[in-house]
Amino acid sequence: MTATDPALTALAQGWRALSLLHEKIEAHIERALQSKHGLSVREYSLLETLSRQHDGPGGHLQMKQVADAVVLSQSATTRLVTRLEERGLLTRYLCPTDRRGIYTDVSPAGLALLAEARPTNDAALREALDQAARDPQLAPLVEAVESLHARA
Amino acid sequence: MTATDPALTALAQGWRALSLLHEKIEAHIERALQSKHGLSVREYSLLETLSRQHDGPGGHLQMKQVADAVVLSQSATTRLVTRLEERGLLTRYLCPTDRRGIYTDVSPAGLALLAEARPTNDAALREALDQAARDPQLAPLVEAVESLHARA
DNA sequence: CCCCAACGATTGCGTGAGCAAGTAACAGGC
DNA sequence: GCCTGTTACTTGCTCACGCAATCGTTGGGG
């Protein structure tokens, strides 16, 4: 039986709760974004990330940075970017100083679609959180997520 | 520009942080479990869930309940259970009172592997959390996850 | 008793993901 | 100026997932 260490077990419960909450929210948002805008959560997430960089200095990210930001493998990132590029939602162009690097930037169409999808995303998120808050095992985490913005 | 509503944006940031934290932890544990025990996170998660039911009354779960517990589609659950059954880690048997339902139960071999993999899982989790705590954007969430067990 | 709507589980099909191997471009030693 | 090692990205392969259609089972009318 190895009488599992209580501290570790408790930590595992926390991880389990986090995992459950994440998957529930993701599933909920996925359905909403997919049905209304033909976007997956990852695709939306990528557009969102790139658009935030857009406000800043360069307005572009290298594939590697993208992969890190969305926590995907390089190969998956390549294909994700390719898909969105084929839909005209973003553009790819070589980095002038290092021709190995490839920058990606959101296109106007991408920004438009993002603006259109953002309310859907936010509403679905709000909904999923409210729904999760009714589960006593998830409630504390929901609270934590919501209180994150208070410190902004 | 649609001057995004600050409250919603903040919520989205919270969701983004949750998502990042989840994926980092999952990736970390996945590598550890996969290399040392040939188990995916989902497979481990399923064994863990079933074993916890094992302590309780019936010691078994219907496919539907399993699917709900691990947040998977019914089809994915069927295949996940099939894979683990083929490895001899769990057993399937018909529910005697309703032959539509199928119960799943962890086998002794499954329990053994679980006992073997648990330390790996816990260590990787601990590691991933410590690593994430160094990211200021993730730190508050990490704290929340860790404090969950304090209320047990 | 038979029929039919509902339910649980499985299967066919298409898609996205990671790993490993491959290619192109930089950086340093000699 | 090559040759070697490293970096950034892409491609081949395999596999797990979700959706939709299907099969077997159950339960409630008629």
Residue A49 lies in a domain: yes
Q: Is the pLDDT of residue B151 over 60?
A: no
Residue B21 placed within a domain: no
For residues B39 and A10, the model is more confident at B39
What average pLDDT does chain B have? 87
Closest residue on chain B to A70 (Cα): B20
Q: Could you say which nucleotides of strand C lie within 7 A of any protein CB atom?
A: 7-12, 16-21, 24-27
Mean predicted confidence (pLDDT) in B53-76: 81
pLDDT for the residue B137: 85
Q: What is the 3-state secondary structure (H, E, C) of A75-143?
A: HHHHHHHHHHHHCCCEEEEECCCCCCCEEEEECHHHHHHHHHHHHHHHHHHHHHHHHHHCCCCCHHHHH
A18 within some domain: no
The integer distance in angstroms from the CA atom of B97 to the C1' atom of C5 is: 21
**What whole-number percentage of chain B has pLDDT above 70?**
88
The structure tokens listed for B33 are 């479990």
User: Distance between CA A71 and CA A7 in Å, rounded?
Assistant: 29
Please identify every stretch of chain A with a pLDDT value under 50, giving residue numbers as ranges.
Answer: 1-2, 152
Whether A124 is in a domain gets the answer: yes
Supply the range of the domain harboring residue B87: 40-147
Count of the separate structural domains present in chain A: 1
Q: Which of A1, A24, A148 sits opposite B17 (nearest CB)?
A: A148
Q: Is there a domain that residue B114 lies in?
A: yes
Task: Assess if residue A12 is contained within a domain.
Answer: no
Residue B132 in domain: yes
Alpha-carbon gap, residue B38 to B40, rounded angstroms: 7
Contact B144 A140 (CB under 8 A): yes
Model confidence, pTM: 0.88
**CATH number of residue B115's parent domain:** 1.10.10.10
pLDDT exceeds cutoff 50 at B118: yes
Q: Do B140 and A141 count as a contact with CB atoms less than 8 A apart?
A: no
Phi–psi pair at B91, nearest 5 degrees = -125, 150
Classify residue B152: in a domain, yes or no. no
